Chain A
Amino acid sequence: MQAFEYANPKTLQEALGLLGSSWGEADVLAGGTDLLGLMKEYIHTPKRVVNIKGIKELGGIEKTSAGVRIGATVTVAELLSSGLIKSQFPALIQAAQGIASMQIRNMGSIGGDLCQRPRCWYFRSGYGLLAMKDGKSLVANGENRYHAIFGRAPAYFVSASSFGPALIALGAKVKLASQSGTRELPVAEFFVAPATEDDREIALKPNEILTEILVPAETTRNATYEVRQKEALDWPLATASVALKMDGGKVRSAEIVMGHVGPTPVRAPKAARSLTGKTINETVAEKAAATAVKGARPLSQNAYKVQLAKAAVKRALLRAVS
Chain B
Amino acid sequence: MRSPKESQVRKLPESGVSRRGFLQGVSLGGGALGAAVLERPAEAAQSGVVGPGEVSITLWVNGKEHELRVEPRVTLLDALRDRLGLTGAKRVCDRGTCGACTVLVEGKAVYACTTLAIDAQGKNIQTIEGMTRGSELHPVMKAFVNNDAQQCGFCTPGFVVAAKAFIDEHPNPTEEDVMNGLGGNLCRCGTYIGIRKAVVEAAKAMGGRNA
Q: When the two chains form their complex, are residues B96 and A37 in contact, meaning their CB atoms are under 8 A apart?
A: yes
Chain B 96-117, CB within 8 Å of chain A: the 1/0 string? 1101001000001111011110
B35 at the interface (CB under 8 A from A): no
Closest CB of chain B to A254's CB: distance in Å?
31
Out of B45, B71, B96, B181, which one reaches A36, CB within 8 Å?
B96
Chain A proximity mask over B18-58: 1 for CB below 8 Å, otherwise 0:
00000000000000000000000000011111111101000
- Please measure, in the bound complex, the distance between the C-alpha atom of A40 and the C-alpha atom of B72, giving whole angstroms: 13
**Is the C-beta of B175 less than 8 angstroms from some C-beta in chain A?**
no
| A3-B52 contact in complex given A103-B162, A232-B183, C-beta closer than 8 Å | yes
Do residues B110 and A103 form an inter-chain contact, with CB atoms below 8 A? yes
Rounded to whole angstroms, the CA-CA distance of A106 and B108 in the bound complex is: 7
Roughly how many angstroms separate A3 CA and B51 CA in the complex, as a whole number?
8
**Chain B residue contacts of A33, Cβ below 8 A:** 96, 111, 114
The residues of A that contact B96 with a CB separation of less than 8 Å are 33, 36-37, 103-104, 107
B contact residues around A3 at 8 Å (CB): 51-53, 71-73
Q: Given the known A-B contacts A33-B114, A103-B109, A107-B115, are A233 and B51 also in contact in the complex, defined by CB atoms under 8 Å?
A: no
Query: How far is B110's CA from A77's CA once the two chains are assembled, in angstroms?
Result: 12
Residues 150-188 of chain B: 1 if any A CB is under 8 Å from the residue's CB, otherwise 0? Answer: 000000000000100110000000000000111111100
Interface readout for A261-302 with B: 1 if CB under 8 Å, 0 if not?
Answer: 000000000000000000000000000000000000000000
Contact of A37 among B114, B166, B181 (CB under 8 A): B114
In the complex, what residues of A have CB within 8 A of residue B102's CB? 103
Does B75 belong to the interface (CB within 8 Å)? yes
**Could you tell me the distance between the alpha carbons of A49 and B115 in the complex, rounded to whole angstroms?**
13
A175 at interface (Cβ–Cβ under 8 A)? no
- Judge if B94 is at the interface, Cβ distance under 8 Å: yes
By the criterion CB–CB under 8 Å, are A51 and B94 in contact?
no
Asked if A101 contacts B72 (CB within 8 A), the reply is: no
Q: Write the nearest CB–CB distance from B55 to chain A, whole angstroms.
A: 8
Instruction: Note all chain B residues with C-beta closer than 8 A to A65.
Output: none
Q: Is A5 interfacial (CB 8 A cutoff)? A: yes
Task: Determine if B184 and A101 form an interchain contact, defined as CB atoms under 8 angstroms apart.
Answer: yes
Nearest CB in chain A to that of B115: its residue: A32
Given A5-B51, A10-B47, check contact A102 B182 (CB 8 Å): yes
> Hey, what's the 0/1 contact readout for B180-209 against A, CB within 8 Å counting as 1?
111111100000000000000000000000
The interface size bin for chain B is: 35 or more
B110 touches A6 (CB 8 A): no
1/0 contact string of B52-76 vs chain A (CB within 8 Å): 1101000000000000000111010
B114 adjacent to A107 (CB under 8 Å) = yes
Cα A117 to Cα B95 with chains together (Å): 15
What is the CA–CA distance of A29 and B46 in the complex, to the nearest angstrom? 15
- B50 touches which of A6, A10, A39, A106 (Cβ 8 Å): A6
B51 touches A103 (CB 8 A): no
Closest to A18 in B: B49
Contact call A4/B108, Cβ cutoff below 8 A: no
Q: How far is the CA of A246 from the CA of B107 in the complex (A)?
A: 42
Q: Give A72-107 as 1s and 0s: 1 = Cβ < 8 Å from B's Cβ atoms.
A: 000001000000000000000000000011111011
Complex Cα spacing A37 to B207, Å: 38
Q: Closest CB-CB distance, A233 to chain B, in whole Å?
A: 6
* Residue B118 at the chain A interface, CB threshold 8 Å: yes
- A1, CB-defined interface residue at 8 Å: yes
A6 contact from B108, B109, B116, B165, Cβ within 8 A: B116
Residue of B nearest to A6 (CB): B72
Whether B48 and A102, one on each chain, are in contact in the complex, defined by CB atoms closer than 8 angstroms, is no
The answer to whether A102 touches B51, judged by C-beta atoms less than 8 angstroms apart, is: no
Nearest Cβ distance between residue B195 and chain A, in whole angstroms? Answer: 14
User: Do B114 and A233 have beta carbons less than 8 Å apart?
Assistant: no
Chain B CB within 10 A, most for which of A53, A101, A106: A101
Residue in A18, A49, A53, A106 whose CB lies within 8 Å of B72: A49
Interface membership of A8, Cβ < 8 A: yes
For residue A68, CB closer than 8 A to chain B, the reply is no
* Contact B111 A103, beta carbon cutoff 8 Å: yes
What are 5 inter-chain pairs, A to B, with CB distance below 8 A? A6-B50, A8-B48, A103-B109, A232-B183, A233-B183
Please list the 6 inter-chain residue pairs (A to B) with the smallest Cβ-Cβ separation, ordered nearest first.
A101-B184, A232-B183, A6-B72, A3-B52, A106-B108, A7-B49
